[in-house]
Amino acid sequence: MWNSYKVNKDFNVTQIYSLFESHFDSTYAFNGETHNFWECVYIKKGRISASGNERVFSLKEGNLIFHKPLELHKFSVENSEGAELFIFSFALEGNVSPHLKYNVFSLNTEQKKIIEEFTDYIKKENPSYLLAPQKETMYLNEGIKKPKYLPIVSLFIEMLILSLSQNKKTLLTDSSPNAATFTKAVNYMNNHISSHPSIEDIAAFCNISTTGLKRIFSKYAGLGIHKYFLKMKINAAIELLKDGHTISDTAFMLGFSNQGYFSYVFKRETGKQPSYYKK
């Protein structure tokens, strides 16, 4: 008689959006973005400063960070030799532990082996990268023409996530004064998401000049303060709409003058009407 054991899977990778390796020069600073899917950045060589919402981390070789959907994120290279990064973005269905959402990782030997086997596989399936080495190598060109390529890519990502879910928490926060000020400013903005604090209000709370605050947001967010705050409001609106709030209530709760103006700004920033997220 055979025993059977049910396989419980908390999540599945359902979409792949990007998959590449790149060398970034010492002066490189990514302008920052937000999108409705996950992104993973693995540091192969060098050091970077990475921010995600109010979090700022100092990451080095062997470290990895996940940016959850709708997280405002940015990075800049922090060493003179530049940095080599492996980056991939994807969509998930199911539940992912908060341990994964709000953490960065220092990979152990087993997890580095998963990354190594992952990159070996995608290079093998995209052989043209050997013929014309470039600063940036994309692995969604040749491979996607092969039926099994994306399913195997998704399995590597799932295997890495499952391994990381067993890690103890890793603290790699940037403790510099500027990073602390950025975190303090974003937390203040979160606490005043329903109102309209001025740059002067935020700077006064952080005990810094407006010029200094703007410089810090340029470094860690890649956006102006007003634009960053607007994106925070839009992300908050998406969560409220998903939770069942009406468009009118959402506009009011986030301090917009009326529903029409809220819908106009929402469509301009996301490309979709607010009703899309109520579905």
pLDDT computed for residue 278 by the predictor: 79
Is the C-alpha dihedral spanning 179, 185, 191, 193 positive or negative? negative
Greater pLDDT, 279 or 212: 212
pLDDT computed for residue 136 by the predictor: 74
Q: Mean pLDDT score of the chain, rounded to an integer?
A: 89
Is 189 a residue whose pLDDT tops 70?
yes
Helix, coil or strand: residue 199: helix
What span, in angstroms and rounded, lies between the C-alpha atoms of 194 and 205? 17
What span, in angstroms and rounded, lies between the C-alpha atoms of 18 and 91? 11
Q: What is the DSSP letter of 222?
A: S
Q: What is the tens place of the pLDDT at every residue in 193-230? A: 999 999 999 999 999 999 999 999 998 988 899 999 99
What b-and-e string marks burial along 32-44, b requiring 16 or more CB atoms within 10 Å of the CB?
A: bebeebbbbbbbe
Structure tokens at 48: 């970077």
Is 253 a residue whose pLDDT tops 90?
yes
Residue 234 has phi, psi (to 5 degrees) of -65, -45
Q: What is the tens place of the pLDDT at every residue in 135-146? A: 678 898 888 889
- Single pTM value for the model: 0.86
Helix, coil or strand: residue 137: strand
| 30 CA to centre of own chain | 12
Are 101 and 62 in contact by the 8 Å Cβ rule? The answer is no
Q: What is the tens place of the pLDDT at every residue in 154-185? A: 999 999 999 988 776 566 677 789 999 999 99
pLDDT computed for residue 83 by the predictor: 95
Average pLDDT over residues 9-30: 91
What span, in angstroms and rounded, lies between the C-alpha atoms of 163 and 51? 24
pLDDT computed for residue 141 by the predictor: 83
Structure tokens at 65: 């960070």
Q: What is the tens place of the pLDDT at every residue in 102-132? A: 678 999 999 999 999 999 999 999 887 766 5
Greater pLDDT, 269 or 167: 269
Average pLDDT over residues 54-83: 91
pLDDT computed for residue 84 by the predictor: 95
Q: What is the tens place of the pLDDT at every residue in 91-109? A: 998 887 776 776 789 999 9
